[in-house]
Amino acid sequence: MMINIVVLYHSSHGSVANMAHEISDTLDNLGATVKLRTFEKKQPHDIIITKQDLVECDALAFGTPTRFGMMAAQAKVFWETTSDLWLKGQLIDKPACVFSSSSSMHGGNEATLLNLSLPLLHHGMMLLGVPYDVPELIDTTTGGSPYGASHVAGADNTSKLSNTEVKICQSVGKRLFTIASKLK
Ligand SMILES: Cc1cc2nc3c(=O)[nH]c(=O)nc-3n(C[C@H](O)[C@H](O)[C@H](O)COP(=O)(O)O)c2cc1C
């Protein structure tokens, strides 16, 4: 059984891209067919999301940097083109998760995770957070929240993903694959 999962992200400085790759590698190792997609072509290998990618996927992981406590504008512009999918209910019951990176620990990454969730909920997708049986969620001193995976990149964006943040990204990928497989 083929499970098609879209990992859709925006990243200016690389932190969200690193998270997207952790999630995507986890999905790939589990046997999913992964489409890594972006909203803009910033790197030569970037592939821009199409609405058909969403229609065809079994599940979605969606992440952007924290921008004043909200999703990046590039993502919002895209979601505002999807009302035809919404009218036809084409994303209803697809499982989804969200992830984000912020400069500071309390600079709005949880608010952003909730904000990223909103268009997905409007589309009828089934939001998966991070359950507390992921031990890193209790132990983390940087990113990671029940609302989704997160990373604290520091004021100059130099902090790499911590082991804890990586494990939470991996747990998110694993959960998305497990639920998408059960629903297929
Ligand atoms: C316009 C703008 C708004 C931002 N707003 C916030 C914010 O509200 N809180 C925060 O901690 N960081 C904020 N940041 C910093 C980014 O969230 C942070 O650098 C993030 O790690 C970038 O992810 P990326 O490396 O994937 O681009 C902002 C950055 C920009 C450019």
Write down the number of H helices and E strands in the chain: 7, 6
pLDDT of residue 114: 98
Residues of the chain with confidence (pLDDT) below 50: none
Q: Is domain 4-183 classified as CATH 3.40.50.620?
A: no
**What pLDDT digit, counting tens, does each position of 19-37 carry?**
999 999 999 999 999 999 9
**CB count, 10 Å around CB of 60?**
24
Non-local CB neighbours of 146 within 8 Å, separated by 6+ positions: 129, 130, 131, 132, 137
Whole-number Å distance, alpha carbon 133 to ligand 1 midpoint, is 29
pTM of the model: 0.98
Whole-number Å distance, alpha carbon 103 to ligand 1 midpoint, is 6
**Where along the chain do its domains lie?**
4-183
Q: Is 21 in the pocket of ligand 1 (CB under 6 A)?
A: no
Residue 4, strand partner residues? 33
pLDDT of residue 147: 98
